Amino acid sequence: MLTQLWPDLKIVAQCESGADALDAMRRLAPNVAFLDIQMPEISGIDVARAAVGRTNIVFVTAFDEFAVQAFEDGAIDYLLKPVKQDRLRKTIERIRLQPPKDISAVLYALEQRLAEARPPRLRWITAGMGGAVRLVPIEEVVFFQAQDKYTRVVTSKDEAHIRRSLKEILPELDPDIFWQIHRSVIIRVTAVSQVRRNEDGGHVVCIAGKTETLPMASGYVHKFRGM
């Protein structure tokens, strides 16, 4: 649709996750980015925040109630899913000549609205340990890791398995305490003892009291700078 409606536009990247999008934004410095709000690994809001004032942002969303209030109040463009050609044409006409805006206030308002709609915070994990079932307080969990059809729930003393995906768990966790650092890993920030490079040039996270290291996608490294 973009190729048809905006023939002189050069599409420099198409990304499947927030981490990939963040990396592409930093490398390519595009004039405009069409971002989904909910993306794997890093949200579209965080990606947009990293490009404030340098790139025109158009959010693509299925959340009509958020778009109408947060976006229109901030005079920022958005597209509702499924994207319609006429609506995209109007968006292109608006953004093709306008300079990038500072949308920090809009992003903050959007985050607040999304937070209000989130499910209640998770307090306990009902997990299997051997042949028994245990209630694990969320305060004891140091990381979650996707593993085959299960998710590992690891505490400082032991671990268990649950039949819930990281995608299901993440919205129920406090984002100030738990960070997703890889598509297969969510960590408790205060449990991190070290972030270092591995032999391949990537980054891994070390958890206090644990010998194993956890993979970290490149798009998350910035979160640990200055810590």
Domains and CATH numbers, the chain: 2-117 (3.40.50.2300), 124-224 (2.40.50.1020)
Q: In terms of pLDDT, which residue wins out, 45 or 116?
A: 45
Q: How far is CA 227 from the centre of its chain?
A: 20
Asked whether the predicted pLDDT for residue 73 surpasses 60, the reply is: no
pLDDT score at 137? 93
- Position 67 scores a pLDDT of 55
pLDDT grade, residue 62 (50/70/90)? confident
Measured CA distances, 130 to 78, 138, 146, 158, 163 (Å) = 49, 20, 18, 11, 14
pLDDT in tens, 132-152: 788 899 999 999 999 988 999
Token representation of residue 100 = 């990038």
Per-residue pLDDT, averaged over 176-180, amounts to 88
Whether 68 shows a pLDDT value over 70: the answer reads no
Residue 226 pLDDT = 54
Mean pLDDT of 162-191: 90
Q: Return the higher-pLDDT residue of 202 and 152.
A: 152
pLDDT at position 60 is: 86
Q: What is the mean pLDDT of residues 203-215?
A: 93
Produce one character per residue of 152-174: b if its CB has 16 or more CB atoms within 10 Å, e if not: bbbbeeeebebebebeebeeebe
Q: Answer whether residue 122 shows pLDDT above 90.
A: no
Backbone torsion region of residue 204, taken as left when φ is above 0, otherwise alpha when ψ lies between -120 and 50, otherwise beta: beta
> Percentage of the chain surpassing pLDDT 90?
41
Nearest residue to 175 (alpha-carbon basis) of 135, 118, 225: 118
